[in-house]
Structure 1
Amino acid sequence: MTMGGETEVPEAGEEFRLRVRGWLAEQLGGEFSDVVDTGGPGHEDEALERRRAWERRLGSEGWIGLGWPTEHGGGGASLARQVVFHEEYAAAGGPGRLMHMSEQLLGPTLLAHGSDDQRRRFLPGILAGEDLWCQGYSEPGAGSDLASVRTRAVREGEEYVLTGQKVWTSLAHLADWIFVLARTDPDSTRHAGLSYLLVPLDQPGVEIRPIRQLTGTSEFNEVFFDGARTAAANRVGEEGDGWRVAMSTLGFERGVATLGQQIGFRREFDAALRLARANGAWADAELRNRLVRAWVRLRVMRYTALASLRSSGGGASGLEASLSKLQWAEWHRELGELAVDVAGTEALTVAPPYELTDEQTLFLFSRADTIYGGSNEVQRNIIAERLLGLPRG
């Protein structure tokens, strides 16, 4: 059972695919061979300095912002070519991207909603692989229910002063900047009165506390604002229009990069399949059937994602994003369960002091998949209300 030769994007051109594949082979087989397969889910703390150097190399070679308009420094690549790059990157064992939030979330948001001054100021640092951004959305009590955010930003002259807390902030301990959804109207509730602010992290009034995870790493963080400041010119969109901008960012989050994510899923599946054949678990009819079902569902996810991206031009509507999130989150969590079942009793113990196998890391990390980025329960509510027309609540 394999999934090779599966790409259905011939309009990208074989020449482009071979160019991407050749460049990745040269870099990851040479100077950056030490970062191959590092930094994936559950291994976010691996080779940080080398992965920052890798991001700069991607930037200097024009591989960051591949699909951005050329007038803003991007590559102007078609959707098909972007898909090819993400697929080849994952297939080559490219390291976990430190620039994901910067390139895939903030950059497209600035292209869509930012001012000319904001684009000129912030996009070059992203394209160069230099400026790392993180996402300041979730809070205690306002995770999937994002409209309940309580972090406040008070206008004082030409600045906003922030007070509040964000949580589950991926890579905040490494980031230079954070894009924050904050309440600028103290009398507002829910979606109204929110603004989208770009805030530097290296300043007084910002405290970052890493959260140690089950995998032993600390990708997620708490971020506390106590009088932190940012210029009013760093507000994206109008004051009080932050919800619309933030939802646009979430649509970009579930855009073309999901195809690369699925190739990563395929690699994890292939590893579980190899283990099943090596340790005899393949002979178990139930495990064999679960492996087959996982393979089929992974193919379905790919076709669904391609169709969605083609119809939307590379982003995702709120409804499409919810359908996609629900689909891959459940699949990946079940793959984690399947991986440890294939490993058998070997998965029941951990080598001291806390050395996890790949199967154990996959299992523990994927428990969070159905929670972060909008819980499955919230995604089902969105689908019920917007697709099926069921009453709210």
Structure 2
Amino acid sequence: MKLGFSKADEAFRSECAAWLQAQMAGPFADIRGIPNLVSKIERRREWEQELAAHKWSCIGWPEQWGGRGATLAQQVIFAEEYARAGAPGRINHIGVELAGPTILAFGTEEQKARFLPGIAAGTAIWCQGYSEPNAGSDLANVRTKARLEGEEWVVNGQKVWTSLAHFSDWIFVIARSQEGSKGPKGLTFLMMEMDQPGIEVRPIRQMNGEAEFNETFLTDARCPADSLIGTPGDGWRVAMGLLAFERGVSTLAQQMGFRNELDGILAAARANGKDRDPVIRQRVAEAEIGLRLMRYGALRMLSNADHSAIDGAALTYKIQWATWRRNLGELAMDVLGQDGEIAPGAEYEWPMLPNLFLFSRSDTIYGGTNQIQRNLIAERGLGLPKEPRGDL
């Protein structure tokens, strides 16, 4: 469904769709439809740089920083056509969709000149240093510490679930810089190079056989004093602004990926006759309804003029899509039956569906568990009393 797009927007759709389809059918056909983020990393680095060379990497950014100054409608269109073409997941999603917009919103002009060109060019891959072993969904409980020594920040601590850290060039880190501070107070937002003696990355093997996530250990890791975004102790405000960007245009591309998965389930059901099962038919209908509702919710989020703030629609989106996709993974296995036990990568007509089931179990955990999301909705969205908490 196309909502409110002008003739000029549809002309833009034709332009980007033609380019993407040509790339996925031609020079980058070998990475088309890859269902994970860790396969063929070097080819995907080349893809990032190809996007940048044609100014498709970060189209919503200002032209001076490598973007196209694209309208919101054009960004939505590109996100949809990107997924429709079967283009691979962006290995620099964190840089393009999170770090870049955060620097544009909160960084100085000097910081923009320092960090943005590499992201836009696809030569600087970023990862996110938020979660810790005792501060996952409860991000305000971070224990990683940063102290200012002369012209450098010195950082010590451990981050976990850092996606693609083992391939990344940069990391942004939330660290506690004020001794004795608790909760969201006293946190600082730092930009750090990964290639230094003080940072060690250990991949975490997942149950689907991949290793997208990592543990990241920081031992006297360093970055220049002017590498912080905002001011010392103001990191929580910047971190929350970044999470608002996470609920931005990229949600439409995510939903197109979901569309491809649901279409794969439908194709499997038609092939093995499960489409005649009334219970399966009902569950497919519920999945279709849920997907359309997510699209409307995403468009509602994008209609908010302040994209650095988390409104009610943004508060509910994570639990909505995570629960929906977990159920989709279960539906995929029920449609496939015993065929779903074949490991991803085997000779199989729908290789992404077993992987979908295995990976979707994590969707309700990372980025804030469903339980924590309910607390956020209750406290921040509905204004209910906060849950009693012990001393941090």
Uncovered stretches (5+) of structure 2, i.e. residues with no partner: 388-392
Matching residue of 2:42: 49
Letter in 1 for 2:125: L
Instruction: Work out which of the residue numbers 223, 227, 234 in structure 2 matches 1:230.
Output: 223
Letter in 2 for 1:132: I
Matching residue of 2:17: 21
Matching residue of 2:289: 296
SS of structure 2 residue aligned to 1:10: coil
TM-score w.r.t. the length of structure 1 is: 0.94
Change (3 A) 1:351 1:64: closer
Residues 156-206 of structure 1 deviation map (CA, whole Å, 9 limit, x = unaligned): 001011110000000000000100000001210110000000011100111
Instruction: Work out which of the residue numbers 74, 80, 83 in structure 2 matches 1:90.
Output: 83
Letter in 2 for 1:373: G
Residues 192-235 of structure 1 deviation map (CA, whole Å, 9 limit, x = unaligned): 00000001110011100000001101000000001111111101
SS of structure 2 residue aligned to 1:311: coil
How far 1:138 sits from its partner (Å)? 0.0
Change (3 A) 1:74 1:224: same
1:212 counterpart = 2:212? no
Q: Tell me if structure 1 keeps the 8 A contact 2:203–2:214.
A: yes
What is the CA–CA distance in structure 2 between the aligned matches of 1:15 and 1:340, rounded to whole Å? 39
What is the CA–CA distance in structure 2 between the aligned matches of 1:91 and 1:210, rounded to whole Å? 31
1:48-127 → structure 2 map (5 Å cutoff) = 48-127=41-120
How far 1:314 sits from its partner (Å)? 5.2
What is the number of equivalent residue pairs in this alignment?
385
Q: Tell me if structure 2 keeps the 8 A contact 1:256–1:314.
A: no
SS of structure 2 residue aligned to 1:371: coil
Matching residue of 2:367: 373
Give aligned-pair identity as a percent.
Answer: 52
1:1-393 → structure 2 map (5 Å cutoff) = 6-11=1-6, 13-38=9-34, 40=35, 43-312=36-305, 317-348=310-341, 350=343, 357-393=351-387
What is the CA–CA distance in structure 1 between the aligned matches of 2:279 and 2:27, rounded to whole Å? 44
What is the CA–CA distance in structure 1 between the aligned matches of 2:125 and 2:154, rounded to whole Å? 22
Letter in 2 for 1:10: F
Letter in 1 for 2:169: D
Letter in 2 for 1:283: R
More deviation in 373-382 or 259-268? 373-382
Q: Tell me if structure 1 keeps the 8 A contact 2:345–2:351.
A: no
How far 1:35 sits from its partner (Å)? 1.1
Change (3 A) 1:352 1:16: closer
TM-score w.r.t. the length of structure 2 is: 0.95
Letter in 2 for 1:387: G
Q: Tell me if structure 2 keeps the 8 A contact 1:336–1:364.
A: yes
What is the CA–CA distance in structure 1 between the aligned matches of 2:30 and 2:184, rounded to whole Å? 45
What is the CA–CA distance in structure 1 between the aligned matches of 2:335 and 2:344, rounded to whole Å? 18
How far 1:354 sits from its partner (Å)? 12
Residues 64-117 of structure 1 deviation map (CA, whole Å, 9 limit, x = unaligned): 221112343321110000000000000000011011000000000000101111
What is the CA–CA distance in structure 2 between the aligned matches of 1:370 and 1:22, rounded to whole Å? 35
What is the CA–CA distance in structure 2 between the aligned matches of 1:347 and 1:304, rounded to whole Å? 32
How far 1:316 sits from its partner (Å)? 5.6
Letter in 1 for 2:122: G
Matching residue of 1:3: none
Q: Tell me if structure 2 keeps the 8 A contact 1:35–1:94.
A: yes
SS of structure 2 residue aligned to 1:390: coil
